[in-house]
Chains A and B, each alone.
Chain A
């Protein structure tokens, strides 16, 4: 579960891949990519704009909600560690917006509060339920004046080696506008009515009901409203981009 077998396999495969030059991550690449396009169309067709789904059942505690090795930052010995919040942290809201913003945690907390009970779906197969408190991305878009961008990119101060090239990179992901504007999609600063813990992405993380776990970027630094799709960290390693739930 939290061992992230995939990461180990990917790291092990990365070296061999650089040597052979073949894409070991995607056998049957062309048909699999074609099916990803088909699957994206299916997922977009299934997507219901305003439909909120509030998870029933007991909340998973902050401690039991897996955090494991779901980060890319490493210490000197190469062990994965929770990234440290940069001094003077502010959330930068940019891209093609009328009013670029630089928001402190207090600024976000002063905005209308969104509270959602959501079942989490990790690409690995596990689930957990938590309540999340934060600011709707649609409210951020309105405040920044992001009117018609098709994509929203989320960048993190979690920083580590790219799964394919090994080059140092931020963790990031990008969403289609409809998913980002979904009423349950938010920049979360609270979990189970407690301040967000460092392991879960403090000070602020992306959270929503409509995407798999790896799309919900932790430890946010930037939100960019863009006209083009900019992929993501795991997406670059062969994981599906749309990854809706």
Chain B
């Protein structure tokens, strides 16, 4: 019998919420100083090129303040992620949380088909279904990609080797931006699912009754 959401998971989860909002807002504030991708002389023609996000989704106060906020919250988020990862690995929680293809792929498709009204019966009940595991694990991997590409944009010279697989400074900056877009899609899906299954929200607040 395990508590659905042990307290270290709940605390790190709720720290993520305002921290990710501030990271996105300060990130978009930084973005408008050069709302393009690729080198200055011949930038790449990608979606969002030239996009100026509305003031309501930016941190305001200009580039210097945006960078200050981004670096402050960025390190806090990295610390939060380290606490979370150490906890879920040491406690064995990762087994019921992380996506493991041989075990979860079938459930991933079954759940997706169920939500799409193609499959009538819901997937076999368990702590998390395959779709949840896939979604949460991809969000975590996106977080790692954001830290990785963010470090390359932060120190393109000193961390040059880290940037090579991402296509150097300009590649990393592009990955960093589209990683945010992908995270926004995750958050939208996440909120929709929570609204469909309100019990999960209660569990993330109180921890929930031990089950399974």
Contacts and interface: CB of A to CB of B under 8 A. Distances in A.
A43 B155 contact: yes
A35 B34 contact: no
Closest 3 CB pairs of A and B: A35-B72, A125-B34, A32-B68
B68 A210 contact: no
A53 B160 contact: yes
Interface in B26-71: 30-34, 36, 39-43, 59-65, 67-69, 71
B33 A6 contact: yes
Contacts of A238: 62, 64-65, 68
A245 B155 contact: yes
Interface of A: 1-2, 5-6, 9-10, 13, 24-28, 31-36, 38-39, 43, 46-48, 51, 53, 60-61, 64-66, 119, 121-129, 209-210, 234, 237-240, 244-245
Q: How large is the interface on B (under 10, 10 to 19, 20 to 34, 35 or more residues)?
A: 20 to 34
Contacts of B67: 123, 239-240
A234 B62 CA distance: 12
B157 interface: yes
A126 B36 CA distance: 8
Contacts of B69: 27-28, 32
B133 interface: no
B31 A61 contact: no
Contacts of B123: none
B158 interface: yes
Contacts of B41: 60-61, 64-66, 128
A58 B158 CA distance: 21
Nearest to A243: B67
Interface secondary structure of A, over-half rule:
loop
A124 B64 CA distance: 10
A27 B61 contact: yes
B64 A38 contact: no
B62 A10 contact: yes
B169 interface: yes
Nearest to A125: B34
Given A66-B40, A127-B169, A210 B157 contact: yes
B72 A245 contact: no
A78 to B, nearest CB: 20
B63 A53 contact: no
A65 B39 CA distance: 10
- Most A C-beta atoms less than 10 A away, residue of B31, B39, B59, B71: B39
A73 to B, nearest CB: 21
Contacts of B159: 46
B109 interface: no
Given A123-B33, A129-B39, A26 B61 contact: yes
Nearest to A33: B68
Contact of B155 (A61, A127, A244): A244
20 contacts: A1-B36, A5-B32, A5-B63, A24-B61, A25-B64, A27-B59, A27-B65, A28-B72, A43-B158, A119-B169, A122-B40, A123-B63, A123-B67, A125-B173, A127-B40, A127-B169, A128-B39, A209-B157, A240-B67, A245-B157
B68 A35 contact: yes
B33 A125 contact: yes
Contacts of A46: 155, 158-159
A21 B109 CA distance: 59
Given A5-B32, A27-B61, A122-B34, A32 B72 contact: yes
Contacts of B170: 127
A238 B65 CA distance: 7
Contacts of B33: 5-6, 123-125
Contacts of B157: 53, 119, 121, 209-210, 244-245
